[in-house]
Structure 1
Amino acid sequence: MHPQRIQQITEALFNNSASVIKRGILKYVTLEELLTLSLHPDERTAFRAAWALEHVLQADGSKDLLSQYSSILKIYNQSHNWSVLRSISKLIMLILKDRKTLDSMPESYVENILNTTFRILEDQYCPVAVRCNTYDILYAFVTLHPWIAHELRQIMQLDLEKNEMPALKSRAKKVMQRLERIAKT
């Protein structure tokens, strides 16, 4: 992408609120540009692009979300920017809620998502919001790979021993309840 175009997009992303972005950022920026900028080396630019992407894709009723899932997975697998991963992990959660997409996902994608998710969870600096999203990402794969249920329980219990932040506690409780419902069936 041309540096001048990157600068124009960056300025638009920094100067507009979420509601403005939801309503019309795609008049000025393409989804492909937002996807590309989500991996930009400047952390702030990458964050704003991922944040805009999250808002745009949630606002359109997921029609573009599912069509862009391989590009979103690429960002998830390649990014080490916690702010980007917060938005992208949320989009991954939404993608995985679509059972048809989950069931038709190539095993190589599943493997990459699982590897990335476990890598994220191993990082002691992983922010709570990203950590919570990864619980739901792993949960989505429990029916395909039942061994994940045991691993996920252990991870959540260990996390709660280290850190009892309300968001972490709440999400872990919800995921644990869903895991228990699966175990009963």
Structure 2
Amino acid sequence: MIILSLHGMTKEQFLLEISKNVSKVKATVLAQLAISDHYTMSDLLSLCYHPQKAIAFRAAWILEFVENKSPDRFIPLLVEFIEQLTHQHNASCQRHFTKILMNYTNRKAKTIRKEAFSQLTTTHKEQVVERVFEWLIKSETPVAVRVNCIEILYNLVPLFPWIKDELNAQITFYLKDGSAAMQSRGKKLLMKLLEAS
């Protein structure tokens, strides 16, 4: 049984909790804590860059939980989140970060997310494109992250039409010997890109 106080947990106590193995149930409880007014989103984001990869991964997992449950709590962090993407080299964190970015770029995103993303400056949107392309083309990027990157970039084609040709070339390249996940999503998005031509 998990008993965590949702009130008064310090940043240090939170760090101690995610230094241990975190089950899905415990991650949900910690996300509820992070959603409360007693813990700042900025503190949680900083833990996503912790030098210990397991801690950073758990923090990113919890950050994704928070964003899914309470986008209103995450949105004030969106600019900071984007500005720090360049420093995220942990592939496990990139998986959760790309899932968050998919929520904001999805053409069927909830209004609250669409409005938040539309209010970003062009520079911030370009930072998303640049970082996601970088993760997509790195040879060591895991397939799950790569597939998410393809989806994000596809979603951003209406804003940045030049992405279309670059993305088309990348998908075609990865389909040559890609995994089942890459084949499935890659083919669907390639078809959509071709239909939009």
Q: Common fold, TM-score beyond 0.5?
A: yes
Check if 1:166 corresponds to 2:180: yes
Q: Kindly, what percent of the aligned residue pairs are identical?
A: 28
Query: Gaps (5+ residues) in structure 2?
Result: 1-9, 107-112
- Say if 2:79 and 2:120, in contact at 8 Å, map to a contact too: no
Partner of 1:122: 137
**Cα deviation 1:19-62 (Å, max 9, x = unaligned):** 333243325743222111111222221111111111121123x2
Per-residue deviation at 1:181? 4.1
For 2:26, which of 20, 25, 33 is the aligned residue? Answer: 20
Partner of 1:41: 51
What pairs up with 1:133-152 in 2 under 5 angstroms? 133-152=148-167
Per-residue deviation at 1:9? 2.1
- Say if 2:42 and 2:77, in contact at 8 Å, map to a contact too: no
Q: Quick check: 124-133 or 27-36, which moved more?
A: 27-36
Separation in 2, partners of 1:75, 1:81: 13
Aligned alpha-carbon RMSD (Å): 2.1
- Say if 1:138 and 1:148, in contact at 8 Å, map to a contact too: yes
Separation in 1, partners of 2:98, 2:157: 17
Aligned residues: 177
Check if 1:95 corresponds to 2:100: no
More helix by share: 1
Letter of the 2:190 counterpart: M
Partner of 1:30: 40
Query: Gaps (5+ residues) in structure 1?
Result: none
Partner of 2:109: none
Per-residue deviation at 1:68? 2.2
Per-residue deviation at 1:110? 1.8
